[in-house]
Amino acid sequence: MHIKTLVLDKFKSFGRKTEIPFYEDFTVVTGPNGSGKSNIIDSVLFALGLARTRGIRAEKLTDLIYNPGHDGDEAAGNGPLEASVEVVLDNSDGTLDRTQVVNAAGTDNVGDVDEITIKRRVKQTEDNYYSYYYLNGRSVNLSDIQDLLAQAGVTPEGYNVVMQGDVTGIINMTPYERREIIDEIAGVAEFDAKRDAALEE
């Protein structure tokens, strides 16, 4: 399974609806400082529910909505009131099977599961804000998305996304801490936890 397309609409610096293609295996995004490369990664974490606002460099969810005055060159406060990010996953290798998608969506009506779309919207009103998740167009909860992705090995605690600074962090760890990460990625940590729990009983 891999990301096929990202559709950003009024997300951070993406003031216009922008479709970004991703290739199987390897895609590189290049551009000058401040051009929005990291915002693309933030958008994936946002849409897939993999990070809290701090992890995507925002104090509150509504900071993620495109703000024409963000860099102080235009009057702030007259921007759009809604942002969305859609992640289109190519699941043609069957990483997730139909039943898993149907269970997460809570309906049989999920269409073709060769392609899975996960979308998140954040909407601002006068005195509140709202966040919505969709799976193949069906409204779902964050936990539905997280449970589904966990079955493909994608979790908030996982190392699916290596952030700026993570590499230096890993280099500076003690060998024991580094080993814990490898256990986590290899899936051994889960069994260690279960064994410890069993021994305690």
Annotated binding site for ATP: 32-39
85, 132 in Cβ contact below 8 A?
no
CB nearer to Mg ion: give 33 or 128.
33
CB nearer to Mg ion: give 11 or 133.
11
29, 37 in Cβ contact below 8 A?
yes
Stretch that binds ligand ATP, among 37-45, 90-98, 99-107, 168-176 (CB under 6 A): 37-45
* Amino acid, single-letter form, for residue 7: V
CB nearer to ligand ATP: give 11 or 134.
11
The reply on whether position 155 binds ligand ATP by CB under 6 A is no
Residues 82-141 touching ligand ATP, rule: CB under 6 A, are none
Give start and end residues of each alpha helix (H) in the chain: 37-47, 98-105, 142-150, 166-171, 175-186, 188-200
Return d(Cα 40, Cα 27) in angstroms, integer.
12
83, burial (CB in 10 Å: exposed 0-12, middle 13-18, buried 19+): buried
Sign of the torsion angle spanned by Cα atoms 30, 33, 34, 40: positive
The reply on whether position 36 binds ligand ATP by CB under 6 A is yes
Quick note: the x/- pattern for Mg ion over 13-52, rule CB under 5 A, is -------------------------x--------------
The reply on whether position 77 binds ligand ATP by CB under 6 A is no
CB nearer to ligand ATP: give 29 or 185.
29
